[in-house]
Structure 1
């Protein structure tokens, strides 16, 4: 089990941790 589980927003390139910290995720190659 992970202490912090990042939640993906509809954008996909932005992640928010349970602590409320939001950061830009690495670009996904489609």
Structure 2
């Protein structure tokens, strides 16, 4: 259970990181 929770958190962190990267890239592309 603990491992599953940690995996979910890691997945969420990766998702946030990717989203942030995409957002910055989109912002740079729109400029």
Instruction: Report if TM-score (shorter chain) is over 0.5.
Output: no
Task: Tell me the TM-score normalised to structure 2 length.
Answer: 0.14
| TM score, norm. by length of structure 1 | 0.14
Greater Rg by CA: 2
More strand by share: 1
Higher relative contact order (CA 8 A, sep 6+): 1
Q: Which has the higher helix share?
A: 2
